[in-house]
Amino acid sequence: MTVTLGHRRDAAWWKSAVVYQIYPRSFADSNGDGFGDLGGISTRLDYLRMLGVNVIWLSPIYPSPQADNGYDISDYRDIDPRFGTLAEFDALLAKVHGLGMKLVMDLVVNHTSDEHPWFVESRSSRHNPKRDWYIWRDAVDGVEPNNWGSFFSGSAWEWDEATDQYYLHLFDRKQPDLNWRNPQVRKAVQDIMVWWLDRGVDGFRMDVINFISKVDGMPDAPAIDGQRFSVAFEGFVDGPHVHEYLAEMTREVFGGRDGDYITVGEMPGASPEQARLYTDPARGELDMVFQFEHVSVDHGPAGKFDYVGRDLVALKKSLHRWQAALAETGWNSLYWNNHDQPRVVSRFGDDDAKYWAASAKALATVLHGMRGTPFVYQGEELAMTNYPFRIPHDHKDIEAVNFYDTVVESGGDEAAALAGLAKMSRDNARTPMQWDDGPNAGFTSGNPWLSVNPNYTWLNAAAQIADTDSVFAHYQTLIRLRHDLPILIDGEFAPLMEGDPQIWAYTRNTSTAKLLVIANCGREARTVEVGREWIAADLLLGNLPDAPAAISPSALELAGWDARIYYATALDSSRRPSNLN
Ligand code: NOJ
């Protein structure tokens, strides 16, 4: 069946877009309470215009007890007073639109807050009409109905004394899962979406949206040695009805609506094959998925805090696999960072002084050269680094705090836990945005809710805007290329040297032009044979000062963390894009 959707007016607009993610509590504070807000965002929109992005995604700004920094929503139709008011939101939206950008909201509807009125009603009695809006089960043999673990440690079930049943929460106990089998729940979510679209927003990023359909019977997950609970991916990832629910949502919400919208599904654990189904335009589900395979390659057998280090071949193979899988049908999103991932320059790059900028630019180059829609997370365009966490108390994030407490309670290795947290904690991404070298990096005049990274004295936006060779300037160029060069959108992707543990290289090809994207992802210089077909190519972009403008005769001398994009075309030179270096 082919579904015709009103919102496909310009089916491809988001294919040449670049999305910027704002984590509002850490972006800019306008009232000195140490907490970022809408007023702060409003004062920084010119910065985003200068960077060149055209879509802004806001992490949740709705009223929330903030158990999981706003991913626990207690009212979907208002703004948390910490962030501002609905009137301020409307003004911000108008300003964003006035600057020619779009605004995407975070839609968190796998779960609500336990303080949302729906849940308050649901837990009030077994007979309440909203009881079935959440997932309630009796105890089995006096304990939890199955061994499902929460992403934030411990069981995924919480006992409710008053009504003698457990409720499911894949995340914190303050984030009960909605029961999507109930059509009233689905309708309520659709109504929320329509409410925001009527207000003028341009789409949604949908939080863990491939978790909404749980498998029948919710059987035990395979046990992990020595652990009572394990996260039951097979019990809820890409579950039995998820495609049906998403197609219904898109039909009900966007059908007949005229506008250039964007929908992005956050999908941990989704396979490329599933992603193709979610994003096949003919199926009318979502525009693109946010997948997690490439940011899991450094996780050890015991999970993300069991950090095993960078494996470049595995990283390349993963991203390349997704390029291939969505080549004909569907669409990728491309990202290194978001509010849940450590800083990429500290993770897959080299944040020592000598290679900090070059490695950040090289990683940006290889990502932005691929097929898909790039997402830039606040501060990534400055190559902000991980925070030098030392003591448990440094971490504020519920995932980190619960993990550490569990290790301590079970007599585990505390030093190893702290080392894993330092490398992988989500708070690495959540330290305040570094605007300038003034107090608190220009983020707030008050006391920031999370410490500012001490490197703000030299690593900040003001310094980089003034420097034409900065990481910021490199991102500006990559973003401009995405908007201007059709080959970046449509060109076929072909990997080169996939087994090489240091060189990342691939081509993009159309019938009239080709690109070579090549980066040395290590400190040692390398000479790479790229073939005579590239001799006449032009250097479109490089990240080091002395990159040769042409390849001669067929080999490239790449210094440590050297990254380049070469362009060759069958067209005459007057129609080539100008050299952007
Ligand atoms: C994914 C979000 O990105 C993360 O920050 C959050 O903790 C979980 N979903 C639960 O909403």
The yes-or-no verdict on residue 574 having pLDDT over 80 is: no
pLDDT tens per residue, range 116-167: 999 999 999 999 999 999 999 999 999 999 999 999 999 999 999 999 999 9
Chain centroid to CA 290: 6
In sequence order, the β-bridge partners of residue 518 are 505, 564
Using CB atoms within 10 Å of the CB of residue 302, give its burial: 0 to 12 exposed, 13 to 18 middle, 19+ buried.
Answer: middle
Residue nearest to atom 5 of ligand 1 (CA): 340
Give yes or no for a contact between 366 and 504, defined as CB atoms under 8 angstroms apart. yes
pLDDT, greater one: 393 or 467: 467
Give yes or no for a contact between 565 and 517, defined as CB atoms under 8 angstroms apart. yes
Tally of CB atoms within 10 A around 16: 16
In sequence order, the β-bridge partners of residue 516 are 507, 566
Q: What does the alpha-carbon distance between residue 301 and residue 388 come to, in Å, rounded to a whole number?
A: 25
Q: Is 469 a catalytic residue?
A: no
Q: Is 207 a catalytic residue?
A: yes
Give yes or no for a contact between 336 and 344, defined as CB atoms under 8 angstroms apart. yes
- What pLDDT sits at residue 571? 52
Residue nearest to atom 6 of ligand 1 (CA): 71
Using CB atoms within 10 Å of the CB of residue 194, give its burial: 0 to 12 exposed, 13 to 18 middle, 19+ buried.
Answer: middle
pLDDT tens per residue, range 367-409: 999 999 999 999 999 999 999 998 888 899 999 999 999 999 9
| Global confidence as pTM | 0.96
* Distance in Å, CA 208 to ligand 1 centroid: 7
> Exactly one of 144, 266, 287, 562 is catalytic; which is it?
266
The yes-or-no verdict on residue 347 having pLDDT over 80 is: yes
* Distance in Å, CA 205 to ligand 1 centroid: 11
pLDDT, greater one: 302 or 51: 51
The yes-or-no verdict on residue 3 having pLDDT over 80 is: no
Pocket perturbation via mutation, ligand 1, pick of 177, 337, 340, 428 by most ligand atoms within 8 A of CB: 340
The yes-or-no verdict on residue 575 having pLDDT over 60 is: no
| Structure token digits, residue 57 | 């995604």
State the chain's mean pLDDT as an integer: 94
Task: Give residues (CB < 6 A) around ligand 1.
Answer: 68, 71, 108, 171, 207-208, 266, 339-340
